[in-house]
């Protein structure tokens, strides 16, 4: 039962003044315990990180702090007063605002309406004033450095990164006391704008809870951190006193191995190309050419909006090039969609950028989501056999180290990491020999990343070909046999494995002239 006991004293890192504190939080869903004695304390004017693997309880803790669910037991205080919530709106009235990783925007409403909901400006007779709404929306955008985004278009028309910025801006604008940011850079290639907004909020005395799996950015913006494991608070630490290895060990209970792992098999450089692109142009791409061979993992490194989305969508058949040629197994093809791509040659399977809107069917089980492209394998005559469906799904899930008990859950109820594992298992279940993976480990924890990396390596070791984009350069350094750097829709440089470093990738991503060329790249 939830109680309002006084906050226990303790040497929390942010003990100057706790804007929001929680102690002994417990939450169970039937027999599944999501949180068991979770504690956290957020200091006014400080940025506090919440760290833990997917499934550690971070999402449940955030849902409790924001009023989405009620705890079964524990204490919460806001500025020293009891803090018991009935809803998300209740939290907002207390100036506690959240930007969620799985965006909470309304796609068919305008940017301005999303920023102002639920308090839209009214005109005569209580009707919503479109003019005042657009004016107020423009003021909010300007206040947060987003003048380039127009207030009138619907959110659905924005790029994913700009939708993330709108989600964050709405939260910051409503966070008078506490701001909760759940994986805020998951869709952002650059952090400058976000970190500037966070620093402005802390100068106003706002306490910020920052949830991220990217330790480098956590160290840049946060001063302290709380680590969860298996629903329990393991420690609250001053980040200046804890190494990355210390944090990783607290998160997963074992030491990390960040080094590049040698491949069991090396791709043959003289093998016929599984996928070949020649002179591909259109949709912000310019004369793009490369090939991908069996057994090869080819990375794509680029800042946000440099044509990587368009390339992957063309190769999946979701967009048509204006010129150029795509060959699969040596045969020129014109792809009309992901289903067509899957049936072309030895097959191309696509992992999309946005799992919530493009990937999962949230009302169906994880098992059904995994077997969707190969539902015939789960059929007995004209009917779907649940036993066969589970068997096919489990075989694919095993390849990404997904716990089989999650397969029967609605996929929308799973953590982001398990959703991503299910989607990657889906691409593997298709039997396609070429995978197009767009940011395959976006927003997942370090343990899940290693499972995904192992699955990608194993697929390539078996002769599969992988083209992947990642917003995290260490991921490219660790995985790629070769890498393409993009800038303004062009390939600025091809890297062989020995040449792939974060420094060299950054230079090429910024359009710097490649060492082996004398030609500049258009600005």
Q: At what angle do helices 244-252 and 446-461 cross, to 10 degrees?
A: 90
The whole-number average pLDDT for the span 274-302 is 94
The whole-number average pLDDT for the span 390-403 is 92
Q: Are 482 and 460 in contact (CB under 8 A)?
A: no
The whole-number average pLDDT for the span 367-388 is 78
Q: Are 358 and 426 in contact (CB under 8 A)?
A: no
| pLDDT of amino acid 295 | 95
Nearest to 225, CA basis, from 202, 206, 244, 200: 244
C-alpha 181/C-alpha 188 separation (Å) is: 13
Collapsed DSSP state (helix, strand, coil) of residue 32: strand
- Residue 285 clears pLDDT 50, i.e. is over it: yes
The whole-number average pLDDT for the span 2-23 is 57
Query: Bridge-partner residues for 348, per DSSP?
Result: 434
C-alpha 381/C-alpha 378 separation (Å) is: 10
- Residue 29 clears pLDDT 60, i.e. is over it: yes
Q: Which residue did the predictor score with more confidence, 257 or 231? A: 231
Domains and CATH numbers, the chain: 18-252 (3.40.50.300), 275-510 (3.40.50.300)
Look at the block and give the residue holding tokens 């008990």. Answer: 405
Backbone angles phi, psi at 322, to 5 degrees: -80, -30
C-alpha 82/C-alpha 77 separation (Å) is: 5
The whole-number average pLDDT for the span 125-151 is 91
Q: Which residue did the predictor score with more confidence, 258 or 162? A: 162
C-alpha 286/C-alpha 515 separation (Å) is: 21
- Residue 2 clears pLDDT 60, i.e. is over it: no
Q: Are 459 and 432 in contact (CB under 8 A)?
A: no
C-alpha 66/C-alpha 96 separation (Å) is: 7
Nearest to 445, CA basis, from 36, 30, 159, 57: 57
Q: What is the pLDDT of residues 485-508, one digit of tens each?
A: 998 899 999 999 989 988 788 878
C-alpha 3/C-alpha 300 separation (Å) is: 51
- Residue 257 clears pLDDT 50, i.e. is over it: no
The pair of structure tokens assigned to 366 is 């994880």
Q: What is the pLDDT of residues 149-206, one digit of tens each?
A: 999 999 999 988 999 999 999 999 999 899 999 989 878 878 899 999 999 999 999 9
Q: Which residue did the predictor score with more confidence, 377 or 239? A: 239
Share of the chain above pLDDT 70, in %: 89
Q: For 99-115, give the DSSP string.
A: E-SS----TTSBHHHHH
| pLDDT of amino acid 10 | 39
| pLDDT of amino acid 5 | 34
C-alpha 9/C-alpha 62 separation (Å) is: 22
C-alpha 349/C-alpha 315 separation (Å) is: 10
The pair of structure tokens assigned to 442 is 């976006």
Q: 117-120: list long-range contacts, CB under 8 Å, 24+ apart.
A: 118/89
- Residue 292 clears pLDDT 90, i.e. is over it: yes
Q: Phi-psi bin for 329: left (phi > 0), alpha (psi -120 to 50), beta?
A: left
Look at the block and give the residue holding tokens 């074992």. Answer: 254
Sign (positive or negative) of CA dihedral 85, 88, 93, 99: positive
**Residue 48: Cβ-neighbour burial (10 angstroms; 0-12, 13-18, 19+):** buried
Nearest to 188, CA basis, from 207, 169, 209: 169
């Amino acid at each position: 039962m939830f109680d309002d006991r006084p906050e226990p004293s303790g040497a929390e890192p942010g003990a100057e003044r706790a804007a929001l504190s929680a102690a002994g939080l417990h939450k169970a869903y039937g027999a599944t315990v999501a949180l068991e004695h979770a504690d956290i304390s957020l200091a006014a004017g400080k940025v506090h990180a919440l760290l833990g693997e997917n499934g550690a309880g971070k999402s449940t803790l955030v849902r409790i702090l924001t009023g989405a669910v009620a705890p079964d037991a524990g204490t919460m205080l806001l500025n020293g007063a009891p803090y018991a919530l009935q809803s998300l709106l209740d939290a907002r009235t207390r100036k506690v605002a959240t930007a969620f990783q799985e965006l909470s925007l309304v796609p068919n409403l305008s940017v301005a309406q999303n920023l102002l909901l639920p308090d839209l400006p009214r005109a005569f007779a209580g009707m919503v004033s479109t003019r005042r709404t657009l004016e107020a929306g423009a003021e909010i955008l300007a206040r947060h450095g987003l003048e380039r985004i127009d207030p009138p278009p619907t959110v659905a028309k924005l790029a994913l990164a700009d939708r993330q910025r709108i989600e964050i801006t709405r939260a910051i604008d409503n966070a008078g006391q506490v701001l909760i940011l759940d994986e805020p850079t998951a869709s952002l290639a650059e952090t400058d704008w976000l970190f500037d907004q966070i620093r402005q909020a802390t100068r106003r005395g706002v306490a910020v809870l920052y949830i991220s799996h990217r330790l480098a950015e956590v160290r840049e913006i946060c001063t302290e951190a709380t680590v969860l494991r298996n629903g329990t608070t393991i420690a609250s630490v001053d980040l200046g006193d804890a190494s990355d290895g210390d944090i990783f060990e607290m998160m997963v209970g074992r030491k990390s191995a960040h080094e590049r792992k040698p491949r069991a098999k090396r791709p043959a450089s003289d093998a016929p190309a599984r996928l070949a692109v020649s002179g591909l142009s259109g949709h912000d791409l310019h004369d793009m050419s490369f090939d991908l061979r069996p057994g090869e993992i080819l990375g794509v490194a680029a800042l946000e909006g440099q044509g990587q989305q368009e390339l992957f969508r063309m190769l999946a058949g979701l967009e048509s090039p204006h010129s150029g040629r795509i060959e699969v197994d040596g045969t020129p093809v014109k792809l009309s969609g992901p289903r067509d791509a899957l049936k072309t040659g030895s097959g191309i399977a696509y992992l999309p950028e946005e799992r919530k809107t493009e990937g999962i069917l949230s009302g169906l089980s994880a098992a059904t989501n995994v077997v969707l492209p190969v539902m015939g394998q789960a059929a007995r005559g004209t009917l779907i056999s649940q036993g066969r469906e589970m068997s096919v799904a489990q075989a694919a899930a095993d390849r990404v180290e997904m716990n089989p008990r999650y397969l029967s859950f609605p996929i929308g109820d799973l953590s982001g990491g398990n959703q991503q594992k299910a989607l990657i298992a889906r691409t593997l279940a298709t039997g396609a020999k070429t995978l197009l993976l767009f940011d395959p480990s976006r927003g997942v924890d370090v343990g899940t990343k290693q499972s995904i990396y192992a699955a990608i390596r194993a697929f390539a070791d078996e002769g599969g070909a992988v083209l992947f984009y990642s917003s995290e350069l260490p991921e490219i350094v660790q995985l790629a046999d070769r890498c393409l750097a993009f800038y303004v829709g062009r390939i600025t440089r091809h890297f062989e494995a020995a040449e792939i470093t974060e420094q060299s990738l950054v230079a090429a991503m910024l359009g710097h002239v490649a060492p082996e060329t004398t030609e500049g790249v258009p600005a």
